[in-house]
Homo-oligomer: A and B are copies of this chain.
Amino acid sequence: MPMDWDRAATLVVAASDVVIVTHLGPDGDAIGSLLGLGWALRQLGKRVTVAADDGVPENLRFLPGAEEVQTDLHDMAPDLVIAVDCGDRSRMGQVGAAALAHNAPLINLDHHVTNTYFGDANLVNPETVAAAEGVFDWLPRLGVEMDLQIATCLLTGIVTDTLCFRTNNVTADVLGKAQALMNAGAPLTEITQRTVMRKSYAALRLWAAVMPTMQLEDGVIWAKIDRQTRQAVGYTDNGDGGLVSLLVSADEAAVAAVFRERDDGRIEIGFRAKPGFDVSGVALELGGGGHVLAAGATVDGPLDAVVEKTLAMLRRAVNAGAAVVS
C-alpha cells in the first residue's frame, strides 16, 4: 500500500486543533511516537492534545511532555485526529473514540504489518522498526526541525521496539537515524537504562515463580502465569516483564509463548519467533495481531485449554518456518 503523504500533509496544514492518541497498554514506542509527534506539531503552531487510555508507564515519565498525556477526553472537538502505533481503530481506546466523536479526519501512522488502514490518510510502513521511525521519516515532509525533545522521544521508540537494535529489522539506515537523533541530543544510555535494561524486583519475582512452568518441545518454548501466582508475588504491571523475549533466546527454541491469566479470566498471550519463523499468523488466527517475530492475542480461558490449543498452532508455525529455513 502506498503512503498517503500528500493527503496527510493537507490534513495537517488545514488543522489547528490536533488530538494524537496511541494504543492501550502503551509501550515505549507508543509513548515515544505520541510525544515526539506532539512536539513536532507544536513546532508548526498547532494546538496539540496527546492522550492514551492507560496513561504513561512510570518508567517512561522521564520523557519530555509525559506529564501532559490525557487519559480521558471529553468536550474535545479537534479538527484532526492522529493515531500512532495502532494496528486498528479499537486500539485507540476510549480517548480515540472520544476524539473521533465529532467526525474529525483521521491519520493512521503505524508500522504493524497487520494494520487495517483505518485512517482517512494512512502512513503505514511495515518496514519501519517503530512508529517512531515513521514519525522521523514524516518530519522533513512537514518542515519540522529535529530538536532535543523530539529526538529523545523518537529514539526511545526505536530503542524500545528494537530492544536496543537487537531485532532483525534493524538496517544500516536505522542506525543512521539513531545517530542523527543522538546528534540532536537524545541520551541513548539514559534511554536504555530506563527502558530495556530495567526490571522491577516484582518482575524478577514473577519470573522466579513462573519459570518452573517453562517447557520446551519441538522448538516451542512456553511458560504460563496464572492469577494466583501473579497475585502471590505482587506483580501488578501488565505483561510478563519481558519473559517471552528471554524464552525465545534459548538456542533450541524457534518460537516462544507466554500465557498470562488476567483478573477477568481472559488469557493474554505474547508470542516471539526467531528469524525464519512467523508467529503473526497464529496471533491473527486467535483474533490478535502483531509482527512476524513478535505478536500477541487475548482469548477466553480457561488457561490450560488455551495453552493446549495454542501449542498445536505453534508447532505448525515451527514446521512451516523450518520448511522455509531449510
Instruction: Give A contacts to B, CB under 8 Å.
Output: 164-168, 170-173, 175-176, 178-180, 182-183, 188-189, 192-193, 196-201, 204-205, 207-209, 211-212, 214, 216, 221, 246-247, 249-253, 274-275
What are 5 pairs between A and B in contact, CB < 8 Å?
A: A164-B166, A166-B196, A176-B179, A193-B275, A201-B221
Task: Using known A-B contacts A247-B204, A275-B189, determine if residue A172 contacts B166 with beta carbons closer than 8 Å.
Answer: no
Contact A250 B172 (CB under 8 A): no
Q: Which of A168, A180, A188, A216 has the most CB of B within 10 A?
A: A188
Which residue from chain B places its CB closest to the CB of A203 in the assembled complex?
B250
Q: Within the assembled complex, what's the spacing in Å between the Cα atoms of A212 and B197?
A: 21
Among candidates B171, B172, B175, B201, residue contacting A252 with C-beta atoms closer than 8 Å: B201
Q: Within the assembled complex, what's the spacing in Å between the Cα atoms of A189 and B276?
A: 12
Among candidates B198, B199, B250, residue contacting A199 with C-beta atoms closer than 8 Å: B250
Q: Within the assembled complex, what's the spacing in Å between the Cα atoms of A203 and B228?
A: 26
Which residue from chain B places its CB closest to the CB of A192 in the assembled complex?
B166
Contacts of A209 in B (CB 8 A): 212
Contacts of A189 in B (CB 8 A): 167-168, 170, 275
Contacts of A208 in B (CB 8 A): 211-212, 214
Among candidates B166, B200, B274, residue contacting A251 with C-beta atoms closer than 8 Å: B200
Which residue from chain B places its CB closest to the CB of A170 in the assembled complex?
B188
Which residue from chain B places its CB closest to the CB of A214 in the assembled complex?
B208
Among candidates B179, B199, B205, B216, residue contacting A201 with C-beta atoms closer than 8 Å: B216
